[in-house]
A and B are shown apart, each in its own frame.
Chain A
Amino acid sequence: MATGNRALPTVGKAFLALYAVFAAFPLYWTLNTALKPLELINTFPPTLYPEVLNLSAFQWVFSNSRAVSSIIDSLIIASGTTILSVILGAMAGYAFSRHANRIDPGGNVSFWLLSTRMFPPIAVVLPMFFIFGWLNLQDTHLGLILLYLTFNLPLATWLMRDFFNKIPVSYEEAAYVDGYSQLQTFRKVVFPLVRPGLIATTMLSWVFAWNEFIFALIITGDNVSPYPTIIPTLILSNQILWDQIMAMAVVVAIPPTLILIAFRKHIIEGMTLGMAEV
C-alpha cells in the first residue's frame, strides 16, 4: 500500500498531462490548419506545424464581404439580445430574490422559467418560423435577437437572482433606516455589490448568443447570416475550405476565450448555474 500511495500522485499527474494534450491538440490543430495552405491539409503524414506562415486565410476572413458581414451580424445579434436579456433578467432576478414569498412562494415560477431554457430549441423554432413569417421577422436581426431571449432571458434571470441572493437583505434595510430611498439604495449599495455578477451574466449571455446555430440556420437567410450559418457553406466544388473555416474559427473563438480568462471565476459560476465556485 505504501508504494500505491507514492505511485498514485504520479499516475494522477500523468493522467492530467495526457488529457491536457488531448484537450489542447484540437485547438492547436485549428490554428495550424488556418496557417497552412489548403493543399497541405490532406497530406500524409500530416504536417505538424506550418513551415511557411500562410496568412491568406486570415486575410480572407477580414476582407471577404460574406465573412465580415457574418461576423458583424453575429455581433449585432449577440449584443442586442444580451442587452435585452440582462436588463429584463436583472429586474426579474431582483424581484425573485427579494420578493420571493410574494411573487413566487413555492419557488416554482423561477424553476419553470429556468426549465424553458432546457427545452429543445427545435420545439420553439418550429412554431416561431411561421409566426416570424407573418410578422416579417424572418431573416432580420430583430427576429434572432428576440428568439435568443428564449434561452438567454431565463439564464440571466436565474443567474442574477443567484447574485442578488448573495447580497444580504440587511444591507438594503440598513440603508432604508438611514434614510435612503429604494432607488438610491439600489444605486449606492446593491449595484456596486452585484456588478461583478452582472458582468458575468452579460458575458455568458453574449457567448451563448454568439455561438448559437439552429435558430440562426432556420430563421435567417440572405439578409442576415450569423457566422455559424456560413461555416457549413464554406465549400468549393466538393472541397471543404479548411483553411478559411479554421481561420474563421480562430477569429470567432477569440472573444469567448478572452471572456473566460478575464472573468473566470464568475463565468464558471454561471456555466454551472451557480453550482461550482472555483
Chain B
Amino acid sequence: MSTIRGTLAQFPIPDRLEDRNLAPYLLVGPAIATVFLVTIGPMLWSLWLSFNRWKPGSLAYQTPEFTGVGNYAWLFTTQRFIDSVINFVYYGGFGVLLQVTLGTFLALALYNYVESRAVRIGLITLFTVPMMYAPLVAGRMWQLLLLPGGGVANGILGMVGLPSVNWLGSRWLGLTSIMIADTWQWVGLPLLIVYGGRASLSDSLYEAARVDGASRWMMFRRITLPQLRNLIVVAAILRFMDAYKFFDKLFIMTRGGPGSATELPTFFTYLVGFQDFNIGRAAALTWVLGLGSILTMLLFWRYVQTVEGV
C-alpha cells in the first residue's frame, strides 16, 4: 500500500536543487527513452498498421496497403474472434472470481487461525511459490496431472469409482481446467494483498465489535469485508488484466483446441499474426486488446486511489 501512498505524497522538495539542476531529467530520461523505443514507438507503428492490409509472404499484400477500418470490421464479423471473446469473458470472469474468493478465504484463515508464525510463513511461501515459476512450465505440470489416460486427476476419480474425464478435450471443461491450473499458480497474489490488508486493520475495530457482542459472522460482514473491499477489487482487477495477455498455459495445454474451442484473444492474435502472417489484422486485434487493458488499467487506478483511504 505504501507504493500507492507514495504516488500521492507531496514531498517538501529542496527547491534549490530543482530550479537549477538537470539531474532529474538526466535520471529519468534514459528510462523514458527506452520505454518509448521498445514499447510506445513500436505500438504506434502497429496502430498505423492496423489500418492497413499487410500480409508479407502472400502475393496480394506484400507491402502495407491502406484499408481504413477494414481490419476492425473483419474482426467484429469473425465468429472465431467473437468466440474467443466469449471465452475471455468466461475465463476472466470466473477465473478471477475463483482466485480472489479462494485467496481471500485463505488469507483470512491464515491470519485468524494459524497461531504459529513459522507455519504461517511456511504456508504463505507454499501458496506463493508457484507465482515464481514460468507459466509455461506450470501449464506442462498441470497437463500431466490432467492426462486423459494415466493422469492423477483421473486416477483419483477412478479410486472413488468415477469414470475418467477428458479434462482438456472440450471447450468449457478445457477452459475450466486451465482456470484451475492458473488459480493454482496465481491465488497467491490476491492472498498476499488481502493478507496484508487484514494485517493492517486495527485490532480495536474488532475489540469494539466484541464489546458490542457481535458474532464472528457479523464481524466478517460488517468490518473485515467492507474494510478490505477496495483492496479485494484491486486484486481482482490486477488478476483480470492478466486475462488479456493469457497465452503460455493455453499454448502448452490445449493450443486453443480442440479446434479453436478454447482460444483466448491473445492466442487468436498470435495465430493471425504469426501463423497466417496477416499483420494488419493482427495489429487491429492487439489494439482492441490494448484498449481493453487500458480501460481496465484506468479502473484499477481509480480503485488504487480509493485504497489510499483504507
Contact = CB atoms under 8 A, between A and B. Distances in A.
Contacts of B142: 26
11 contacts: A26-B142, A115-B297, A122-B286, A126-B46, A228-B136, A231-B140, A257-B132, A260-B125, A261-B125, A268-B124, A272-B192
Given A30-B141, A127-B49, A120 B245 contact: yes
A245 interface: yes
A276 B195 contact: yes
A55 interface: no
Given A95-B27, A99-B13, A182-B17, A260 B132 contact: yes
A124 interface: yes
B18 A99 contact: yes
B204 interface: no
Contacts of A242: 144
Given A23-B126, A46-B155, A118-B241, A246 B144 contact: yes
Nearest to A256: B132
- Majority secondary structure, A binding face: helix
Interface residues of A, number: 111
A15 B187 CA distance: 15
Contact of A214 (B10, B248, B289): B248
B157 to A, nearest CB: 11
A69 interface: no
- Majority secondary structure, B binding face: helix
A88 interface: yes
Interface stretch (B78-86, B168-176, B266-274): B266-274
B196 interface: yes
Interface string A88-123: 110110111111111100010111010110111111
B137 interface: yes
Interface stretch (B67-75, B92-100, B102-110): B102-110
B135 interface: yes
A162 B28 contact: no
Nearest to A128: B42
Nearest to B197: A276
Interface of B: 1-14, 17-18, 23-25, 27-28, 30-32, 34-35, 38-40, 42-43, 45-46, 49, 102, 105-106, 109-110, 112-114, 121, 123-138, 140-142, 144-145, 147, 149-152, 155, 158-159, 184, 188-189, 192-193, 195-197, 199, 215-216, 231, 234, 238, 241, 244-245, 247-248, 251-252, 266, 269-270, 273-274, 279, 282-283, 286-287, 289-290, 293-294, 296-297, 301, 307
B137 A9 contact: no
A45 to B, nearest CB: 5
Given A122-B270, A249-B137, A275-B234, A9 B184 contact: no
Given A88-B34, A127-B43, A210 B28 contact: no
Interface of A: 1, 4-5, 8-9, 12-13, 15-16, 19-20, 22-27, 29-30, 33, 41-46, 88-89, 91-92, 94-103, 107, 109-111, 113, 115-116, 118-124, 126-131, 146-147, 149-150, 153-154, 157-159, 161-162, 165-166, 169, 172-173, 176, 182, 207, 210-214, 217-218, 228, 231-232, 242, 245-246, 249, 252-253, 256-257, 259-261, 264, 267-268, 271-278
Nearest to A100: B11
Given A95-B28, A169-B13, A126 B283 contact: yes
A278 B132 contact: no
Given A19-B106, A150-B35, A242-B144, 15 more contacts: A5-B215, A91-B28, A92-B32, A124-B43, A126-B286, A129-B274, A162-B3, A253-B137, A256-B132, A264-B125, A268-B192, A272-B193, A275-B1, A275-B307, A276-B195
